[in-house]
């Protein structure tokens, strides 16, 4: 639900819903979608110090669990952050990672929107 709310632009609701899922005792396996969606929203809202940790946790967890859609999503958000910080090399590495995942699978176009959002910067 948080992913859909993010795409609809209801970022306040995303933050509330996602933070509600990040409870004591929850493992990264349990929170991977909340981590990725919340991290992206926080980064886009100008809070990279709060957004980077959940995005990195999501990227690690999705890589380990092979959850390609959120792996692609979190890599793209981290690429956006790197570009925003002026680290072009890191941005290119993350976008390449996300694009490679996207190209290897039959991911619907709407899942590629985060890549287009970043590339349009």
Going from N- to C-terminal start, the domains of the chain cover: 2-119
Alpha-carbon distance of 94 to 80, in angstroms, equals 9
Tell me the average pLDDT of the chain: 85
The answer to whether the CB of 80 falls within 8 A of the CB of 43 is yes
Average pLDDT of span 10-19: 92
* 34 Cβ contact partners less than 8 Å away, ≥ 6 residues apart: 2, 17, 18, 19, 21, 22, 54
pLDDT at 29: 96
Q: What is the pLDDT of residues 32-46, one digit of tens each?
A: 999 999 999 999 999
Does residue 110 register a pLDDT over 80?
no
pLDDT at 109: 54
Does residue 26 register a pLDDT over 90?
yes
Average pLDDT of span 75-88: 92
**The residue to which tokens 């999501």 are assigned:** 58
CATH placement of domain 2-119: 1.25.40.10
Q: What is the pLDDT of residues 47-63, one digit of tens each?
A: 999 999 999 999 999 99
Alpha-carbon distance of 13 to 11, in angstroms, equals 5
Alpha-carbon distance of 114 to 74, in angstroms, equals 9
């Amino acid at each position: 639900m948080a992913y859909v709310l993010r795409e609809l632009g209801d970022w306040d609701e995303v933050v509330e819903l996602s933070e509600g899922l990040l409870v004591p005792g929850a493992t990264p396996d349990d929170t991977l979608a909340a981590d990725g969606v919340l991290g992206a929203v926080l980064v886009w809202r100008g809070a990279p110090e709060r957004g980077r940790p959940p995005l990195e946790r999501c990227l690690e967890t999705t890589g380990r669990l092979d959850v390609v859609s959120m792996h692609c999503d979190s890599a793209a958000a981290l690429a956006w952050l790197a570009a925003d910080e002026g680290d072009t090399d890191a941005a290119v590495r993350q976008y390449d990672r996300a694009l490679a995942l996207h190209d290897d699978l039959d991911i619907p176009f709407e899942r590629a929107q985060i890549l287009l959002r970043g590339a349009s910067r």
